[in-house]
Each structure stands twice: as structure tokens, then as C-alpha cells.
């Protein structure tokens, strides 16, 4: 019934875009926690075309597909990208009072609740950084639902989870800085940005951090994209307009991933 690993994580910045066209397919799925069968869609991500936010929330069209990133069992409430799989620790977690309270809390936007439930499950399995990602995604859903207080609180929780886990890499630190700025923890955001800037990061990361530092100085807690921090990619002479849009979006994504992954 269960496997030793949780379902495939939604991953950093949401599902990783596939090279082929996206969409979703429905199928009957048996919940790995309670055994109930339900109709679920399996999400196939599309590559983002627009520039990502400074916390690497993907641009459209991937941005607008968050409702399809996670499956939820209608019987026990278990949440994961694929509920047919579950870590053994998850089966116990889903039955606990805090989990039941999370999925039933009507004061939270429904989509945020789903990401928080997934974060809870991940935290119970010890995957603190993945839990931080899911908590940040709950904040994105709160942004969309125009619940700024909840979004601020969940950004703060995401930072706490990141910092409770293993040492952070450059990408994670950039996102911690942005989450701190957007939750109006400007002092902590400034100190964290300064530390990262002093570590002589690659030029593009330095550009993002310099923008963060300007925004922190202005006490600006708003949403900004990396397009404001980095020079635009070069135009390709023989591409059609739609190809340019597509490639530039994917280009942003690929460039950032390359930059952040660089050792």
C-alpha cells in the first residue's frame, strides 16, 4: 500500500515544466492512506512564458495552474501531487488533530489550505525545505485570494522551515530574502541580503540581491519580477513573435535555474 518515499514533490517554485505541451488527465486513483478511490487529475506542467517573481513563483501560464498541482483525497483529506503514494509517517499524520484542523479551517482560502496540508505532511516526514516550499505556495494562493495578512504569516512560516532545515543554497537564500521582505521583516531581510551579497554570488544573483536591497531600503513589500533585476535575453532574428514570447519566458526560467544551480 505505501512506499518508503512521499509522492513526487511539487518541487521548488512549483512543478517543473515539461518540454511537451501540458494539460491534465483524469484517472481513478486509490488513496495510499485510506484506500478510497476517487477521480483525480494528474497535472502535466506547461513551461512558464512570463518572467518569474523574485521568489521564483513562475510566470504565466504555469502561474495560474496552482489549483491543479496537488491531489486531495475526498475521504481522508490526504494531499500530495500523487495521493496513490504515501510515506509511512504520512498515514499517522493525516489522522492527527492538527491535520484535521488545517483542512477544515474555513477562514483560510481553500487552495492555501491544500498547500498547508501538504506542508504539514512533508514536515512530518522530516522534509523541512520541501515543507517550506509548500508553505510559500500557500502564501502565493493567499496573494491570489487577496489575503495579505495570511500571506505574510505563511511567508514567515516558510522562512522558519527553511532555516530549521539543512544549510541553504543560493537560490533558497534569495527566496528567504524575498519572503522576509514581503512579510515586512525588513531588518532580517536586509541582513540576510547583505550576507549573500558579501559571498560574491554570480552576476545575475548579485543583480537580484541588489534589487532586493533597493526594495528593502524603500520598505517596499510588493511583488516584483526578475525582469526588473536582469537584462532581457537577446532577440533572435528569425523567430516568430509567439516563438519569441515562448522562448523568452522559458529563457528566463532556464537562465535562472542555470545561475542558481551553478556550483
The residues that touch Zn ion, with contacts defined as CB under 5 A, are 31, 33-34, 36, 73, 75-76, 78
- Please, what is the minimum distance in Å from the beta carbon of residue 219 to Zn ion? 45
Q: How far is the CB of 30 from Zn ion (least distance, A)?
A: 9
* DSSP SS3 for 263: coil
Instruction: Considering the complex, state which of residue 46 and residue 119 has its C-beta at the smaller distance from Zn ion.
Output: 119
**C-beta closer to Zn ion: residue 36 or 41:** 36
Q: How far is the CB of 114 from Zn ion (least distance, A)?
A: 14
CB nearer to Zn ion: give 80 or 139.
Answer: 80
DSSP, residue by residue, 2-63: --SSPSPP--TTSSPPPSS--EEEEEEEE-TTT--EEEEEEEEPPPP-SPPBTT-PPPTTGG
Residue 38 or 225: the one with the smaller Cβ distance to Zn ion is 38
Q: What is the C-alpha to C-alpha distance for residues 165 and 42, in angstroms, rounded to an integer?
A: 29
User: What is the smallest separation between the CB atom of 76 and Zn ion, expressed in angstroms?
Assistant: 3
What are the residues whose beta carbons fall under 8 Å from the beta carbon of 213, sequence distance 6 or more?
190, 193, 194, 197
Half-sphere exposure of residue 193: CA atoms within 13 angstroms, side-chain side: 24
- The alpha carbon dihedral of 100, 101, 106, 111 has a sign of negative
Considering the complex, state which of residue 85 and residue 155 has its C-beta at the smaller distance from Zn ion: 85
Q: Minimum CB separation from Zn ion for residue 31, in Å?
A: 3
Q: Is the peptide bond before 61 cis (omega within 30 degrees of 0)?
A: yes
Amino acid at each position: 500500500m505505501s512506499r518508503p518515499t512521499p509522492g513526487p514533490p511539487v518541487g521548488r517554485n512549483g512543478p517543473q515544466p515539461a518540454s511537451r505541451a501540458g494539460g491534465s488527465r483524469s484517472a481513478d486513483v486509490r488513496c495510499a492512506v485510506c484506500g478510497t478511490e476517487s477521480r483525480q487529475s494528474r497535472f502535466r506542467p506547461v513551461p512558464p512564458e512570463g518572467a518569474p517573481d523574485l521568489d521564483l513563483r513562475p510566470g504565466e501560464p504555469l502561474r495560474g495552474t496552482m489549483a491543479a498541482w496537488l491531489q486531495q483525497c475526498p475521504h481522508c483529506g490526504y494531499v500530495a501531487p500523487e495521493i496513490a503514494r504515501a510515506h509511512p509517517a504520512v498515514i499517522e499524520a493525516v489522522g492527527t488533530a492538527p491535520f484535521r484542523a488545517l483542512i477544515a479551517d474555513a477562514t483560510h482560502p481553500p487552495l492555501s489550505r491544500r498547500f498547508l496540508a501538504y506542508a504539514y505532511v512533508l514536515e512530518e516526514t522530516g522534509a523541512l525545505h520541501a515543507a517550506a516550499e509548500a508553505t510559500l505556495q500557500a502564501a502565493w494562493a493567499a496573494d491570489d485570494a487577496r489575503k495579505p495578512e495570511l500571506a505574510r504569516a505563511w511567508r514567515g512560516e516558510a522562512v522558519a522551515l527553511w532555516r530549521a532545515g539543512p544549510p541553504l543554497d543560493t537560490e533558497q537564500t534569495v527566496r528567504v530574502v524575498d519572503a522576509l521582505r514581503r512579510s515586512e521583516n525588513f531588518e532580517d531581510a536586509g541582513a540576510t541580503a547583505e550576507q549573500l551579497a558579501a559571498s560574491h554570488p554570480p552576476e545575475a544573483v548579485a543583480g537580484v540581491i541588489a534589487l532586493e536591497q533597493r526594495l528593502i531600503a524603500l520598505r517596499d513589500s510588493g511583488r516584483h519580477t526578475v525582469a526588473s533585476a536582469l537584462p532581457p535575453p537577446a532577440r533572435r532574428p528569425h523567430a516568430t513573435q509567439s516563438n519569441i514570447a515562448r522562448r523568452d519566458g522559458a529563457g528566463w526560467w532556464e537562465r535562472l535555474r542555470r545561475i542558481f544551480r551553478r556550483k
